[in-house]
Chains A and B, each alone.
Chain A
């Protein structure tokens, strides 16, 4: 016989000490089931997404195998599809963006976490968060009308005349290209580096800094040689987050990258990225192979961002826990 519904208050949750029927009557079991369904649907839809990506790319996976990642020819007429130019473009633009965003971002995070008084730090952080909210297409808009002409008229010629001996800065100055896309991406990912790094730096225990300062180090030395290394994991995590964002960016990149699937050493060259080619070609890929090759590119992008996001989370959590003293006595 089920225990009756005497609601004896206990210190812990009541679930478990009453029968199924009585819980049902009170609506608890129904509530549990309903909310479980919603939670389960999240898992379901995610699984479905992965499944669709995998199933939807079966043709090129069987036809090209790993050669898909090694060949550069993307030819819808002859049904030859090689992903190399897109992977190259995605990685190069992301790399350029990090080269710019990481020093700027970490520098700004150090300032906000170590130097700025709390109110200024919070206010500036507020603005940085707003920067993160600006949609991609607006960055694209500014990219097309502000960055591209700037690059073509001033920056690319200047780079060419000073550093033109490097293969990186050769070739005509189109305005669009890898470098331009990298610069626009850099602006987009800086907020992620700043806000996560700032939080991680703030979580570094005071005694670390104070120990360094008491030993005679300057403010900068204690920051750079003690605090930052302590928060190193979390900062790396923020960089991975930024990288994941940069890899998946579509609109801003496709508006300024030049849309040319080639692998080129020059940063001035127009290029292509995975997200951009999917955006441009998905609605018109007539042959099944072409369509599925684009899906396979989507799968590649998904896996890349999945790994990076996972690593980022691990690093950030581990660093914060270290900082809050769980890691050591």
Chain B
């Protein structure tokens, strides 16, 4: 019996190893913000190229930056662009640079679960900062109620939900709050992972959405598609021009209009609190982080091919998933930049 099971074991091992590497497998990791978009893209792309599978793990933008710098994944993804320090760290480690490629744009919405309230609430910047600083603790606080006359808000404690790990969504959110609240800027600052004054931590956009969905009187921030596909109400935010804007694809595109014209060569730009009456103030690009130099030419060509597809056919899937397509100028610029990948 032992000999037979030993033989079986050996055969199994052999089979596993041999049935191996005919397919090309690329691994990427990072942002949860665009995960619904990317998972659709990679699935569709795999259907078109069946011997290429691009495995994307949504562990958060911080994870994407870290793992691509460590070299353990082939590309990263983040909605908070890498800062100069992180770029330098990458260059020091690899001897060559890393490139940012915007893929889609999205909105970060304040979504909430208040028993009995299905209306779209209006949030002022002061209200959002106050809630997340822990200074506004009840839903019927005047700072919130003032902008929502006609909605009866309960006197319940607000349950604040934020991200537990390093996140580009957090980066966008705190970037916005730092621009609209001096107190937030001084006390907490902007970043992928901050020292939150209050709140529960959810893991990934998925975790935050799950927590808000299951916790009454909670508020969280997440990419538009998570709130929409789970039918959780989200609020309008007052933009720099003083208008309460609901997050929508056109509002995000309006916010990106200025940046599209003045897009820097490395594509790192912030579009929060953008000017313009129709702009949604908490919008952001999301980027793929692709190394400039590849040792594996098969992987390099596969990734370049994918990026070209994503900038063309891929954009067609964006709107049905509540992401905004890239502005034409940006796409054109990117197609040229792809050649930088060696």
Contacts and interface: CB of A to CB of B under 8 A. Distances in A.
Interface residues of A, number: 26
Contacts of B198: 260
A135 interface: no
B125 interface: no
Given A73-B195, A259-B201, A172 B189 contact: no
B292 interface: no
Contact of A74 (B64, B67, B191, B195): B195
Most chain A beta carbons < 10 A, residue from B69, B86, B165: B165
A174 B166 contact: no
Interface stretch (B9-17, B55-63, B225-233, B268-276): B55-63
Interface in B246-283: none
Interface string B186-204: 0001011111101111110
B129 interface: no
A80 B66 CA distance: 19
Nearest to B29: A283
A280 B159 CA distance: 21
A174 B194 CA distance: 22
Interface in A193-230: none
A175 B216 CA distance: 10
B67 A149 contact: no
Contacts of B189: 77-78
Interface in B191-239: 191-196, 198-203, 211, 214-215, 217
Nearest to B67: A283
Contact of B164 (A77, A280, A286): A280
Given A73-B195, A259-B164, A259-B202, A284 B65 contact: yes
Contact of A175 (B165, B195, B201, B215): B215
Contact of A284 (B66, B159, B196): B66
Contact of B62 (A172, A254, A286): A286
Given A281-B165, A284-B62, A174 B215 contact: yes
A283 B66 contact: yes
B182 interface: no
Contacts of A280: 164-165, 201, 203
A286 B215 contact: no
Contact of B191 (A77, A259, A281): A77
Interface residues of B, number: 35
Contacts of A80: 195
B157 A285 contact: no
Nearest to A149: B214
A174 B165 contact: no
A27 interface: no
B166 A76 contact: yes
B29 to A, nearest CB: 8
Contacts of B202: 259
A152 B195 contact: no
A270 B29 CA distance: 28
B70 to A, nearest CB: 9
Contacts of A283: 29, 59, 63, 66-67
A148 interface: yes
Nearest to A290: B193
B200 A281 contact: no
B86 A259 contact: no
A78 B217 CA distance: 31
Nearest to B189: A77
A258 B201 contact: yes
B132 to A, nearest CB: 13
Interface in A259-286: 259-260, 270, 272, 280-281, 283-286
B194 A284 contact: no
A77 B194 contact: yes
Contacts of B215: 152, 174-175
A172 B218 CA distance: 11
A172 B165 contact: no
Contacts of A113: none
B159 A286 contact: no
Interface string A63-93: 0000000000111111010000000000000
Contacts of B165: 280-281, 284
A260 B62 contact: no
Contacts of B159: 172, 174
A176 interface: yes
B66 A285 contact: yes
Contacts of A272: 201
Contact of A260 (B89, B166, B194, B196): B196
Interface in A133-172: 148-149, 152, 172
A260 B214 contact: no
Contacts of A175: 214-215
Given A77-B195, A258-B200, 17 more contacts: A75-B195, A76-B191, A78-B189, A80-B195, A174-B200, A175-B215, A176-B200, A258-B201, A260-B199, A260-B201, A281-B193, A283-B66, A284-B60, A284-B193, A285-B166, A286-B66, A286-B89
15 contacts: A76-B166, A76-B191, A76-B192, A77-B189, A77-B194, A149-B214, A259-B164, A259-B202, A260-B199, A270-B200, A272-B201, A280-B165, A280-B201, A280-B203, A286-B65
Interface of A: 73-78, 80, 148-149, 152, 172, 174-176, 254, 258-260, 270, 272, 280-281, 283-286
* A-B complex: 4 closest residue pairs judged by Cβ atoms: A259-B201, A284-B63, A284-B62, A75-B195
